[in-house]
Structure 1
Amino acid sequence: MPINIDRLDEEPADVLDLKEGTQPYRIVRFLAANDDKAYTQTELHEETGIKRGSVGAVLSRLENRGLVRHQGRYWAIAEDDRLASYAAQRGASSSSTTDDYYGEE
């Protein structure tokens, strides 16, 4: 189905709509959780379990969406307020499932 040509230049509303379990989701989740570091494609492959040959293509698509950035061989989460919020939400949801409430007095 064709779209209006004006939509090509607009930022997609679903830029952060990453489906859980997909390769882009896994990379963004990992980089957001480790936002103080940058990684090579090989390191991302090792950390996420994504096939080595697929990591570069995923990173390129994420970069086009403004979700990751790179310098030379190293990739990191983009500097974007939306991603900080995304990382905080991910951290809150994962900590709520791993908090140990037993033994509290």
Structure 2
Amino acid sequence: MPISIDEFEATDDEPTNAERIVRFLLGNRDKAYRATEIADATEVDENSIHPVLNRLRERDLVRHREPYWAIGDPDVVRDAYAFASNASFLDDELGAESREEWVSSDDG
């Protein structure tokens, strides 16, 4: 039996790989690490670590100087955290957005 995309995308309170990496690097902002060290420390699969780090780098949340990675611009990290916190708060207060509601409102 199929489920709605909202159910499919619903997550428990587990942090994402990106959140784990940013939290780890932020907590260790005085150091830079190899990707494998970050994977070990955050329990992010080694096959996933580079794609996640590259996406974070594109958003200036981490910096890279071969072969090391470090936390990115503190202002960017703070702004990203504030946005995520606000979005989470609004989801809790107002309910998560439903794709079906958006699609049905487009029909009119």
Q: Pick the TM interval, shorter chain.
A: 0.5 to 0.7
| More deviation, 74-83/21-30 | 74-83
Q: 1:58 aligns with which of 38, 52, 55?
A: 52
Distance in 2 between residues matched to 1:20 and 1:33, nearest whole Å: 18
1:62 Cα shift?
0.3
Structure with greater helix percent: 2
- Alignment partner of 1:69: what SS? strand
Asked whether 1:74 is paired with 2:49, we answer no
What residue identity is the alignment partner of 1:71? R
The answer on whether the counterparts of 2:17 and 2:52 sit within 8 Å (CA) in structure 1 is: yes
Q: Name the counterpart of 1:46.
A: 40
What 5-or-longer segments of structure 2 have no aligned partner? Answer: 1-12, 82-108
The alignment yields a C-alpha RMSD, in angstroms, of 2.2
The answer on whether the counterparts of 2:61 and 2:76 sit within 8 Å (CA) in structure 1 is: no
Q: Could you say which structure has the larger radius of gyration? A: 2
Q: Deviations over 1:15-62 (max 9, x none)?
A: xxxx86100000000000000000001101110001001000000000
Distance in 2 between residues matched to 1:86 and 1:20, nearest whole Å: 18
Distance in 1 between residues matched to 2:56 and 2:41, nearest whole Å: 17
What 5-or-longer segments of structure 1 have no aligned partner? Answer: 1-18, 88-105
The answer on whether the counterparts of 1:32 and 1:84 sit within 8 Å (CA) in structure 2 is: no
What residue identity is the alignment partner of 1:35? R
What residue identity is the alignment partner of 2:38? L
Equivalent pairs counted in the alignment come to 69
What residue identity is the alignment partner of 1:23? N
